[in-house]
A and B are shown apart, each in its own frame.
Chain A
């Protein structure tokens, strides 16, 4: 008999997403490579940065010529902002560009570790929510601060696995688990994932999604790695939904004893 699987819907701020993998669009060799990797990843949401238009080179290619905002959700991000003022300015400009209300907030606190400044992050979340933004928030893996973000109206909690671009994977699984357990909004592991299996582990733990940039863009073959992450996230999610077996200390034979010759 065919088993009917329940529909597994991933929703952020009332937006239905097909993929639980969100990808960043930085660090690629070209926009063509970015577009091919995004396509291979199956992601329907990508993060983008807001920067000055290059006025000295009018022929410089535009990201939006390669990623169609009608087909893929562009998630404006405040990467590189170290103060609440800069982050707010960036996201208000992003909204002006074309009605973007769903945004990703990150306010950094330290240049070496790119660790988030949680005081400024909480302050910014409050203001943005008041202004009608739907804010997905990059944060430290402290469960208390994650709760504070949720209480202030964050649409998604995005704790780091390890420092941005480090590829060190999940360094504090216990904290991530605590955040997953307590959160009513989606929890998306952001930053630090190094390879596809890290994403599977995060999804098996019950994360709602993962955000990957460097692990794909810095792979020898970014397009193949994008596909690896697509499969890894689906596998991890299915494994989480299926519910893993209990661990035992001793062996338990797989074949029955009855009929043994």
Chain B
């Protein structure tokens, strides 16, 4: 198991899962979102290759109502 931080919350995930798998888990595939991996923007074509390790910090953002 790996412990990561997702959107500021500590979660435990299975080992060797990719960012793509994580997005799938949260039903975010094909949604208008952007991902930051340890403080750097992760491009869409890297979602499948990027495997998550212990202590990784992931931010997933989207658009919400705002002024």
Contacts and interface: CB of A to CB of B under 8 A. Distances in A.
Query: Do A and B belong to a common assembly?
Result: yes
Interface of A: 24-28, 31, 34, 47-53, 55-56, 58, 62-64, 69, 74, 76-77, 79-80, 92-94, 96-98, 164-165, 191, 211, 213-214
Nearest to B35: A96
B67 A79 contact: yes
B66 A47 contact: yes
A51 to B, nearest CB: 5
Nearest to B7: A52
Nearest to A31: B65
30 contacts: A24-B66, A25-B65, A26-B67, A34-B65, A48-B63, A48-B65, A49-B64, A50-B61, A50-B62, A51-B66, A52-B7, A53-B26, A55-B9, A55-B26, A55-B60, A58-B27, A62-B62, A63-B63, A64-B32, A64-B62, A69-B32, A77-B66, A80-B66, A93-B34, A93-B41, A96-B41, A96-B44, A97-B61, A191-B67, A213-B67
A73 to B, nearest CB: 12
Interface of B: 6-9, 11, 26-28, 31-36, 41, 43-44, 59-67
A47 B67 contact: yes
